[in-house]
Amino acid sequence: MIDVRNPEDGFAALRARIDALGEPVGGDRGEAGEPLTVGEWALLIEDIVEKPDDATGGIYNVATPEEDDREYDAIFVGGGAGGRFGAAYLRARGGRQLIVDAWPFLGGSCPHQACVPHHLFSECARELDLARHMQGRLWYPEFDESKASILGIVELFKKGRSLPHAVMNWQSKQQLDLEFILNAPATVIDEHTVEVEGRQFRARNLVLGTGARTAYPDISGIEQNGVFDFASLIEDLDYEPTSCVIIGGSKVALEYGSFFQATGCQTTILTRSPLLRTASLHHIDEDMRTYVIDMMVDRGIVIHEGVEPLEVLGDGRATGVRYRGSDGETVEIETDFVFVGTGERPNLKLYDALGLETDDRGFVVADSTMKTSSPSVRAIGDLLGSPMEMFKARKCGMAAARNIMGEHYEYDYSEYPDFFHTTYEVTWCGLTEAEARERYPNVIKLQMPPDDSDPESFPLPAAEGSMLYAFTRPILSGWFKLVIDADSRRILGAHHVGFGAKDAFQYIDYLIRRPEGWTIDDMAELSELFLNPEHFIQLSRLRAGKQQLVNL
C-alpha cells in the first residue's frame, strides 16, 4: 500500500519504480515530493499492467482522519465512466467520496479495452478503406494488404493506452481532488462497508459501477484459443488472423468486423437477428440500415442473418465455425479467428453479500434515482443494461451523486442519440421515418441522395472526410435523412452515415427533445459552416419558406 496523499513517502516510493522504467513521454517528469505527472503515471500504469504480480499493492490517494474525518457519503465500487463522474460530482457538491478500483487507473474499461481502442480501430478502418479505394490514384500507392496487420494495430494501442489512463489519474487527483484507491480489488462486506487490502471503509451509500463483459454463447468449443471478444482481443492476440468469423450482430460486431475486413482479413458475420434490428438498438431507420449494410457488403464483408452458431471447431485452437443456416442446412466455415460480438452482461459475484434484485437477463434493477433493492446501494452504468454507453454511465453516476447529496433527481435514459462505426460514422437520434409515419399523418423528409436519384451519380452529402469519395465514386460519400412533421413543422428525427456529423447529433438530439420541440424554421436560422457534413441547416432553409412542407 502506497499512500500518495503523503507526497514525501508515497510519491517517492512510486518514483523509485518509475525511474527504473525509462523516460516519460516528452520528458514529462515531476519534482520530488510533487504529484506524478501524466508521463510518470503512464510509465507506472504500463508497468503494473504488464507485470501485475510485481507487488506495488494498492495506490491510496485517501485523506487520513487528520485531514478529513467526515464519514464517506459514498464509496464508488469501480472507477470507470460512471464511478469517476459520479465521484467527481459528489465531491464538487461538497460530499466526501472514495473510489476503489482493481485496475491501477481510473476511467475503467473505456480507455483500456473498449471505447478508445474501438475509436482507434475504427479510424484505422476508415483510413485503410480510403487507402484501398484510392490506390493508384493521386499519391496513393498500390495497397499492400500484407502490411495491414490487426496485431500491429492492437500493439500500437497497447503501447499507447497508458497515456489516456494517466490523464484520468492526473485529472482526478490534481483537478478534481478525488479520493481513490487503485490497483486493489474491493470486497463488498455489506451495504455500507467495503474492504480493501484488509482495511475497511464505511459510507452512507455504496455506488456500484463495475460494468459488464462479453456474454459468450453457450456453444461447444467457444473457450478455445483463437476465440476473442473486444477485451481479450487486446490482452491476448498474439498472431495475425487470416480470416474472421464473427458470432453475433451487436454494435461491437459491426465495428470490429468492419475493422478486420478493412485490414484485408476476410470477415463473415453470423447473426441470429437481422443486423441493426436487435432489441438493444432502437430508432434504426430502414433506409439508413440499407445504406450501412450495402456499404459493408460493398467492402466485401459476408453477412449471414437468421443463422444459429452451433460449434467452434478446433482442437484447442479454433479452426472454424459450424452453424445452421437460415435455410436449416448445417454449414462449416474455416477460420483461424473467431470474434464474439453477442452483447455484454454484468458479473455480480462481487455483490453477493448484498442480495440485489436483478432482471431476467441478469442486470441489476434500479429506479430512476439509481437506487437498487438495497436502499443505501445505488447501481450505475452497464450494470443496469442497455444502452451500454458512456453518457449513460456518467449521467447515472451524476444522478446517484445528486440524490445522495440530498437532491431528488431522476434520470431517464430511455431516449438518447446513438452511433456506431463501420468504415463510416453512423449517427442518429429521434424517430425513424417509419416510426414518424405511424404517429403523424403528414411526415416529410429532407434526404440525400433523394429517393428518386441515382446514388452512383449523386456526390452529396460530402464534406470533411468524404470529399475523396465524392470525387471518385459518389455513392461512397454518405447518406442522410431529416424527418419532419409537416403540420407542426417539428423535426422528429435525424439519421446520418458519413463523417464529421456525430458531435452535432448531441445537440440536435437535445434540441428536438425539448418540450416545445424544434422546428425546421428554427434550424433554418442557424449559421452553417459550409460544407457542413450533416447538410441539415441549409436544406431546412431551402424548404422553410414553404407553408406546406414537402420532401427535399
Q: Which of residues 89-118 bind a second copy (CB under 8 A)?
A: 89-93, 110, 115-116
Instruction: Measure the CA–CA gap between 293 and 363, rounded to whole angstroms.
Output: 30
Residue 398 CB, shortest distance to a second copy, in Å, is 6
Examine the residue annotation and report whether 165 is marked as an active-site residue of this protein.
yes
Instruction: Measure the CA–CA gap between 229 and 210, rounded to whole angstroms.
Output: 18
String marking each residue 351-390 x if it binds a second copy according to CB under 8 A: --------------------------------------xx
Angle of helix 38-50 versus helix 162-170 axis, rounded to 10: 120
Return the range that interacts with a second copy (CB under 8 A); candidates 127-135, 230-238, 281-289, 314-322.
Answer: 127-135
Looking from the CA of 57 toward its CB, the CA atoms found within 13 Å total 12
String marking each residue 25-44 x if it binds a second copy according to CB under 8 A: xxxx--------xxx--x--
Which residue of the set 44, 98, 106, 281 is catalytic? 106
- Residue 19 in the binding site for a second copy (CB under 8 A): no
For 311, residues 6+ apart whose C-beta sits below 8 A from its C-beta are 219, 220, 221, 321, 322
- Residue 409 in the binding site for a second copy (CB under 8 A): no
Instruction: Measure the CA–CA gap between 33 and 158, rounded to whole angstroms.
Output: 30
Closer residue to a second copy (CB): 40 or 191: 40
Closer residue to a second copy (CB): 354 or 482: 482
Return the range that interacts with a second copy (CB under 8 A); candidates 147-155, 184-192, 245-253, 369-377.
Answer: 147-155
Q: Which of 17, 324, 345, 502 binds a second copy (CB under 8 A)?
A: 502
Closer residue to a second copy (CB): 24 or 211: 24
Examine the residue annotation and report whether 110 is marked as an active-site residue of this protein.
yes
Closer residue to a second copy (CB): 149 or 266: 149
Examine the residue annotation and report whether 115 is marked as an active-site residue of this protein.
yes
Which residue of the set 112, 118, 165, 495 is catalytic? 165
- Residue 493 in the binding site for a second copy (CB under 8 A): no
Q: Which of 219, 348, 434, 468 binds a second copy (CB under 8 A)?
A: 468
- Residue 265 in the binding site for a second copy (CB under 8 A): no
Calculated CA dihedral for residues 260, 235, 146, 253, nearest 10 degrees: 0
Residue 393 CB, shortest distance to a second copy, in Å, is 9
Cis peptide before 533 (omega within 30 of 0): no
Instruction: Measure the CA–CA gap between 472 and 177, rounded to whole angstroms.
Output: 52
Q: Binders of a second copy among 294-353, rule CB under 8 A?
A: none
**Helix (H) and strand (E) counts for the chain?**
16, 24
Instruction: Measure the CA–CA gap between 484 and 540, rounded to whole angstroms.
Output: 10
Q: Binders of a second copy among 203-232, rule CB under 8 A?
A: none
- Residue 398 in the binding site for a second copy (CB under 8 A): yes
Return the range that interacts with a second copy (CB under 8 A); candidates 21-29, 70-78, 239-247, 333-341.
Answer: 21-29
Instruction: Measure the CA–CA gap between 174 and 106, rounded to whole angstroms.
Output: 13
| Alpha-carbon distance values, 224 to 236, 336, 339, 441, 513 (Å) | 12, 11, 12, 54, 47
Which residue of the set 14, 36, 44, 110 is catalytic? 110
Angle of helix 12-19 versus helix 38-50 axis, rounded to 10: 70
Instruction: Measure the CA–CA gap between 409 and 399, rounded to whole angstroms.
Output: 6
Closer residue to a second copy (CB): 136 or 375: 136
Closer residue to a second copy (CB): 103 or 536: 536
Bridging pattern class, strands 318-324 and 330-334 = antiparallel
State the catalytic residues: 106, 110, 115, 165, 530
